Amino acid sequence: MSLRNLLPAEDPALTERSGPPSGTGLVPAADQDERADLAAYRRARRRARTRRLGTGALGLAVLAGIWQLAAMLLNDPVFLPSVSQTAASFVHYFNRPYPAQGKPLWFDALTSLRRILIGFTAGTAIGVVLGAAMSASLIVRHLTDPVIEVLRPLPPLAFIPLFIIWLGIGEMPKEVLIMIGVTPIMAVTTVAALDEVPDDLRLCARTLGASRRYTMLRVQIRAALPGILTGMRISMAGAWTSIVAAELIAATTGLGYLIMQAGDYLNTALVFSGIIAIAILGLALDACLRVLLLLADPSRRR
Amino acid sequence: MTARADAAGAETDAPGALLTPLSGGTHPPGPPREGTTPPIPPGVEVVIDSVGKVFRRGGRRTVALAGASLRVRAGELVSLLGPSGCGKSTLLRIIAGALPADEGSVTVGGRPVTGPSPDRGMLFQTPMLFGWLTTRDNILFGPRAQRSARRHERDDPELETEAAALLDRVGLAGFAEAFPHELSGGMQHRAAFARALAARPSLLLMDEPFGALDAITRERMHEFLLDLWDQHRITIIFVTHDIEEAILLGDRVAVMGGETPGIGEIIDVPLARPRHALDADTEAFLAAKRRIRASLRN
């Protein structure tokens, strides 16, 4: 797409070019026009990004509006509390213990977050190392591929009773549960990302004078990084599913437990508060990964 | 339209070379013309001596190349022309050191090829720029990688100057901080050129580098390559399946293909240097084209 279509014609950045004339005479005039001015091009893209964010916020606002309207029409806070009732409940219990349990909301949120981070980090590390080994060695790949293919479709929740038998009821089984969900996804996405790096890109680095080691670290792994980060985003979503489900069934702390307790006492506003806490934490972690992805892959910055 | 763009246009649109055919059409590797900023070493001789390659897959043998011999003079630009599957890319990768030859040998500048080396730069059909690096960092990849091998991790100001000179040389002075996806197709290819030159090759291997470009951009890249080669005279081996491209660029055209995949006839291009894209309309060009077509049919 031509830059001219994105920018108003009177944009000063288009008329005053930066830099001295190249003077080589090698570059055809028309080609220099194509992207005119890099700064202006990036400004236009930033504006488009801000607009997209605004539209996204509007979508959320519409959802909240429909919820509020439905709650007002139903007028039954046990069946569907309004947005304002939920917000009030969230604020109230954020720093006050819920009666049946004795822990405030922030504590449960932090507990779930800690389990996620430990399990996710361990699972990602193991998955990436395993994926790298699978990509580097055909024997490792043929050995582990069927194992991963068998494990991958199994819902991690099916392992909960096993982990309780093997690992007890402490923090460990929850973290291992998350790890079990994350590792196969990370192994598969890492293999795919490394395989996708063209052989010619490595050859290119070698013909530029890079050693094998330098090419491996600075080209192949670097080129695979965006794919690995995308895999992390996918497995992060799965990790939240696992941990909340595990806490619903077999825990005495965490957001899943809080939601279950609130449901048992028909405190629907607190159920919604727990759900919203999960949404906020999930969004925040995903936002961190997205920032890393944007840093790793400049072509996504649009 | 600005003064800068006008000036650039006026120079490139200048009428082409005088069309006096020169026998052989080759040049001695003369000293580089004035105004060349980056220090690029002069070209080297390449000797390809009865090179053969067989690919084995699942018990099946495919002869990719047999008895290919060619002597490329220092500072010469030779086109390897042939249809798909004639072994031209295989030969180029053997010269690059990416594939070992099963028979025969390749020597570049007197030294046998054993693996990839920065002496032998390569340009691919796609620019193969590193998408996470800016144009400047792409250009500096080679020098930095070579320094890292000698345990000098830090850049010195000399490198910066060289990058700036190369950026200017390929007309990307305003795009030092741009990422590859922010450049047009032609600009990406010029950035890849600059990156290859920054590693200071004495031989440039080009594997259908402009095959994916549109016809107009491709013609511009031809002019760019011809001008660059006229000034630096590094040795270039240019692989293509386009007869006109092979003639326009090459001092000689090595026709590949036939019964066994290898080098067939080697045809001199009787066109004077410096050349220009408009040379394609001359009688001498058409004569060369007729000869090569006849050779390709055999």
Q: Are residues B112 and B178 in the same domain?
A: no
Give the model's confidence band at B6: pLDDT under 50 very low, under 70 low, under 90 confident, else very high: very low
Q: Are residues B140 and B93 in the same domain?
A: no
Q: B interface mutation test: which of A22, A35, A201, A302 has the most B CBs within 10 A?
A: A22
Q: Is A202 on the interface with B (CB under 8 A)?
A: no
Summarize the confidence of residues A86-91 as an average pLDDT.
92
Summarize the confidence of residues B253-267 as an average pLDDT.
85
Q: Is residue B4 part of a domain?
A: no
Cβ-based contacts of A42 with chain B (< 8 Å): 182
Cβ-based contacts of B205 with chain A (< 8 Å): 207
pLDDT at B277: 82
How far is the alpha carbon of A7 from chain B, nearest alpha carbon, in Å? 16
Give the model's confidence band at B151: pLDDT under 50 very low, under 70 low, under 90 confident, else very high: low
At A103-147, the pLDDT tens digits run: 899 999 999 999 999 999 999 999 999 999 999 999 999 999 999
Question: Which residue in chain B is spatially nearest to A22 when comparing CA positions?
Answer: B168
- Say which residue, B121 or B27, is predicted with more confidence: B121
Q: Is residue B15 part of a domain?
A: no
Cβ-based contacts of B2 with chain A (< 8 Å): 15, 17
pLDDT at B153: 56
Give the model's confidence band at B39: pLDDT under 50 very low, under 70 low, under 90 confident, else very high: low
Mean pLDDT value across chain B: 82
Q: Is the pLDDT of residue A14 over 90?
A: no
Please write down the HEC assignment for all residues of chain A.
CCHHHCCCCCCHHHHCCCCCCCCCCCCCHHHHHCCCCHHHHHHHHHHHHHHHHHHHHHHHHHHHHHHHHHHHHHCCCCCCCCHHHHHHHHHHHHCCCCCCCCCCHHHHHHHHHHHHHHHHHHHHHHHHHHHHHHHHCHHHHHHHHHHHHHHCCCCHHHHHHHHHHHHCCCCHHHHHHHHHHHHHHHHHHHHHHHHHCCHHHHHHHHHCCCCHHHHHHHHHHHHHHHHHHHHHHHHHHHHHHHHHHHHHHCCCCCHHHHHHHHHHCCCHHHHHHHHHHHHHHHHHHHHHHHHHHHHHCHHHCC
Full DSSP string of B86-152: SSHHHHHHHHHTSS--SEEEEEETTEE--S--TTEEEE-SS----TTS-HHHHHTHHHHHHHHHTT-
Q: Is A33 on the interface with B (CB under 8 A)?
A: yes
What is the C-alpha to C-alpha distance for residues A97 and A263, in angstroms, rounded to an integer? 16
Cβ-based contacts of B141 with chain A (< 8 Å): 205, 208, 210
Q: Is the pLDDT of residue A213 over 70?
A: yes
Cβ-based contacts of B90 with chain A (< 8 Å): none
- Say which residue, B55 or B148, is predicted with more confidence: B55
Q: Are residues B67 and B94 in the same domain?
A: yes
pLDDT at B150: 64
Q: Are residues B166 and B43 in the same domain?
A: no
Give the model's confidence band at A21: pLDDT under 50 very low, under 70 low, under 90 confident, else very high: very low
CATH code of the domain containing B252: 3.40.50.300
Q: Is the pLDDT of residue A205 over 80?
A: yes
Summarize the confidence of residues B287-297 as an average pLDDT.
89
Cβ-based contacts of A297 with chain B (< 8 Å): 131-132
How far is the alpha carbon of B193 from chain A, nearest alpha carbon, in Å? 12
Summarize the confidence of residues B23-31 as an average pLDDT.
39
CB contact under 8 A, B145 and A211: yes
Q: Are residues B195 and B211 in the same domain?
A: no
CB proximity under 8 Å: A 208-227 to B: 208-211, 214, 218-219, 222-223, 225
Mean pLDDT is lowest, of A152-156, A278-282, B119-123, B186-190, for A152-156
What is the C-alpha to C-alpha distance for residues A140 and B229, in angstroms, rounded to an integer? 47
- Range B14-21 contact pairs with CB under 8 angstroms and sequence separation of 24 or more: B15/B276, B15/B278, B16/B275, B16/B276, B16/B277, B16/B278, B16/B279, B17/B272, B17/B273, B17/B274, B17/B275, B17/B276, B17/B279, B18/B272, B19/B271, B19/B272, B19/B279, B19/B282, B19/B284, B20/B272, B21/B270, B21/B271, B21/B272, B21/B284
CB contact under 8 A, B98 and A33: no
What is the C-alpha to C-alpha distance for residues A274 and A90, in angstroms, rounded to an integer? 8
Mean pLDDT value across chain A: 85
Q: How many CB pairs under 8 A join A and B?
A: 162
CB contact under 8 A, A205 and B4: no
Token pair of A3 as six digits: 């830059």
Q: Are residues B208 and B102 in the same domain?
A: yes
Q: Is residue B17 part of a domain?
A: no
Given a contact cutoff of 8 angstroms between Cβ atoms, the answer to whether B157 and B199 are in contact is: no
pLDDT > 90: percent of chain B: 47
Q: By CB neighbour count within 10 A (0-12 exposed, 13-18 middle, 19+ buried), where does B179 fall?
A: buried
Sheet holding B252-256, edge to edge: B120-123, B203-207, B235-240, B77-81, B252-256, B263-268
CB contact under 8 A, B171 and A24: yes
Instruction: Domain ranges for chain A, please list them.
Output: 3-42, 82-300
pLDDT at B10: 37
Q: Is A122 on the interface with B (CB under 8 A)?
A: no
Q: Are residues B47 and B171 in the same domain?
A: no
Q: Is the pLDDT of residue B298 over 60?
A: yes
Given a contact cutoff of 8 angstroms between Cβ atoms, the answer to whether B296 and B256 are in contact is: no
Q: Are residues B75 and B174 in the same domain?
A: no
Q: Is the pLDDT of residue A17 over 90?
A: no
Give the model's confidence band at A9: pLDDT under 50 very low, under 70 low, under 90 confident, else very high: very low
CA–centroid distance for A32 within its chain: 39
Three-state DSSP class for B211? coil
Total domains present in chain B: 2
Q: Is residue B9 part of a domain?
A: no
At A51-67, the pLDDT tens digits run: 988 898 999 999 999 99
Q: Are residues B286 and B146 in the same domain?
A: no
Give the model's confidence band at A219: pLDDT under 50 very low, under 70 low, under 90 confident, else very high: very high
Summarize the confidence of residues A203-231 as an average pLDDT.
94
pLDDT at B141: 94
Cβ-based contacts of A13 with chain B (< 8 Å): none
Q: Which residue has the tokens 């080759």?
A: B26
Q: Is residue B277 part of a domain?
A: yes
CB contact under 8 A, A209 and B120: no
Q: Is the pLDDT of residue A40 over 60?
A: yes
Question: Which residue in chain B is spatially nearest to A295 when comparing CA positions?
Answer: B132
pTM: 0.79
Summarize the confidence of residues B196-221 as an average pLDDT.
90
Cβ-based contacts of B173 with chain A (< 8 Å): 19-20, 22
Neighbouring-strand partners of residue B70:
B48
How far is the alpha carbon of A299 from chain B, nearest alpha carbon, in Å? 6
Q: Are residues B208 and B298 in the same domain?
A: yes
Domain that holds residue B41: 34-119+204-298
pLDDT at A249: 82
Of B128, B132, B168, which is closest to A222 when you measure between CB atoms?
B132
Which range, A10-19, A111-120, A236-245, B58-67, is most confident?
A111-120
- Which CATH class, in words, describes the domain spanning A82-300? mainly alpha
Angle between helices B185-198 and B215-232 (to 10 degrees): 20
Summarize the confidence of residues B99-110 as an average pLDDT.
92
Cβ-based contacts of B7 with chain A (< 8 Å): 21, 23, 25
pLDDT at B94: 95
Q: Are residues B241 and B280 in the same domain?
A: yes
Given a contact cutoff of 8 angstroms between Cβ atoms, the answer to whether B182 and B206 are in contact is: no
Q: Are residues B222 and B113 in the same domain?
A: yes
CA distances to A65, A128, B190, B199 from A269, rounded to whole Å, are 17, 40, 61, 65
Which range, A20-29, B134-143, B251-260, is most confident?
B134-143
Q: Is residue B89 part of a domain?
A: yes
